[in-house]
Chains A and B, each alone.
Chain A
Amino acid sequence: MTGPRVLFDLPGPRARRRQRIGSALGVLLVLLLVGLALWRLGANGQLEGERWAILFDPATNVPQRLLEALVNTLQVAAVGMVAATVLGALLAVGRLSEHAWLRVPVVAVVEFFRAVPLLVLILFCFLFLPQVGLSLSAFGALALGLTLYNMAVLAEIIRAGILSVDRGQSESAYALGMRKWQVMSFVLVPQAVRRMLPVLVAQLVVLLKDSSLGFIVGYMELLRTSRSLVETLNFSFGPRYTFQLYVAAGLIYILVNVLLSQLAKYIEKRTSQNAKTAGTTKVELPADSAAVTGVTLDAPQRP
Chain B
Amino acid sequence: MSFLADNFDLLRDAFLTTLSLAVVSGIVALVLGTVLAAMRVSPIPALRALATFYVETFRNTPLTVVFFFLAFGIVYIDLQFPTRFLTAVAALSLYTAAFVCEAVRSGINAVPSGQAEAARALGLDFRQSLSTVVLPQAFRTVVPPLGNVWIALAKNTSIAAGFAVTDLTAVLQRLANANADQLAMVFAAVVLAYLVITLTSAWLIGILERRLAITR
The interface residues of chain B lying within 8 Å CB-to-CB of A52 are none
Nearest CB in chain A: distance from B6 CB, A? 20
Complex contact A249–B158 (CB within 8 A): no
Whether the Cβ atoms of B155 and A116 lie closer than 8 Å is yes
Roughly how many angstroms separate A98 CA and B62 CA in the complex, as a whole number? 39
- Cβ of B47 < 8 Å from any Cβ of A? yes
The interface bits of chain B over 174-216 (1 if a CB of A lies within 8 angstroms of the residue's CB, else 0) are 0010001001100100110011001100100000000000001
* Interface segment, one of B9-17, B25-33, B36-44, B82-90: B36-44
Tell me whether B81 is interfacial, beta carbon within 8 Å.
no
The answer to whether the Cβ of B7 comes within 8 Å of any Cβ in the partner chain is no
A12-33: contact bitstring with B at CB < 8 Å (1 yes, 0 no)? 0001000100110011001000
Let me know if A128 and B183 touch, CB within 8 A. Answer: yes
Rounded to whole angstroms, the CA-CA distance of A111 and B156 in the bound complex is 17
What chain A residues lie within 8 Å of B64 (beta carbons)?
A: 212-213, 215-216, 223
Tell me if B2 counts as interface (CB < 8 A to partner A): no
| Nearest B residue (CB) for A252 | B65
Asked whether any CB of chain A lies closer than 8 Å to the CB of B172, the reply is yes
Bound-state Cα–Cα, A275 to B124, Å: 42
Interchain CB contact under 8 A, B59 and A40: no
- Closest residue on chain B to residue A288 by CB atoms: B112
| CB neighbors of A among B32-66 (8 A) | 40-48, 50, 56-57, 59-65
CA distance A213 to B61 in the complex (A): 13
A40 and B158: CB pair below 8 A?
no
Q: When chains A and B are docked, how far (Å) is the Cα of A105 from the Cα of B202?
A: 19
Say whether B187 contacts A124, CB under 8 Å. yes
What secondary structure prevails in chain B residues at the interface with A?
A: helix
Query: What is the chain A residue whose CB lies nearest that of B63?
Result: A209
Min CB distance B142 to A, Å, is 11
Q: Is A175 on the interface with B (CB-CB < 8 A)?
A: no
Knowing A115-B198, A117-B158, A128-B184 touch, does A23 contact B120 (C-beta < 8 A)?
A: no
Is A123 in contact with B173, judged by CB distance below 8 angstroms?
yes
Q: B41, B69, B112, B194: which contacts A250 (Cβ < 8 A)?
A: B69
B183 cross-chain contacts in A, Cβ below 8 A: 127-128, 131
Number of interface residues of B (CB under 8 A): 66
Q: Which residues of A contact B62 (CB under 8 A)?
A: 209-210, 212, 223, 253, 257
How many angstroms between the C-alpha atoms of A23 and B173 in the bound complex?
Answer: 49
Whether B65 lies near A223 (C-beta < 8 A) is yes
Which of A40, A115, A128, A286 makes the CB contact (< 8 A) with B187? A128
Instruction: Give the chain B neighbours of A254 by CB distance below 8 A.
Output: 57, 60-61
A6 close to B117 (CB less than 8 A): yes
Are A41 and B76 within 8 A (Cβ)?
Answer: yes
Nearest B residue to A244 via CB reads B76
- The CA-CA distance from A32 to B187 in the complex, in Å, is 49
CB of B108 within 8 A of chain A? yes
The chain B residue sitting closest to A1, CB to CB, is B113
A44 to B, closest residue via Cβ: B76
A59 at the interface (CB under 8 A from B): no
Residues of A within 8 A of B72 (CB): 242, 246
Q: Which residues of B contact A110 (CB under 8 A)?
A: none
Distance between A201 CB and nearest chain B CB, rounded to angstroms: 13
A223→B67 CA distance, assembly (Å): 11
Q: Which residues of A contact B23 (CB under 8 A)?
A: none
Known: A23-B44, A23-B45, A41-B77. A120 touches B158 (CB 8 A): yes
Contact, CB under 8 Å: B57 / A120: no
A46 at the interface (CB under 8 A from B): yes
- List residues of chain A with CB within 8 A of the CB of B57: 254
Q: Does A263 contact B (CB under 8 A)?
A: no
CB distance from B141 to the nearest CB of A (A): 8
Do B61 and A27 have beta carbons less than 8 Å apart? no
Least CB distance, B20 to chain A, in whole angstroms: 16
Q: Are A117 and B194 in contact (CB under 8 A)?
A: yes
- Tell me the minimal C-beta distance from A24 to chain B in angstroms: 8
Residue A4 lies at the interface, judged by CB distance under 8 Å to chain B = yes
Contact status A120-B78, CB under 8 Å: no
Selected from B73, B120, B190, the residue in CB contact (under 8 A) with A9 is B120
Q: Mark B76-117, 1 if CB is under 8 A from A, else 0.
A: 111000000000000000000000000000101111110011
Confirm or deny: B134 has a beta carbon within 8 angstroms of a beta carbon on chain A.
yes
If the complex has contacts A2-B113, A243-B73, are A119 and B184 also in contact, measured as CB distance less than 8 A? Answer: no
A1-B109, A7-B130, A223-B64 known, 16 other contacts, Cβ within 8 Å? A1-B116, A6-B113, A22-B44, A40-B76, A44-B77, A46-B76, A118-B158, A119-B159, A120-B169, A120-B187, A123-B176, A205-B60, A209-B62, A213-B64, A223-B68, A286-B110
11 contacts between A and B (CB under 8 A): A4-B41, A4-B43, A7-B43, A7-B120, A22-B44, A117-B158, A118-B155, A118-B158, A119-B162, A123-B176, A216-B159
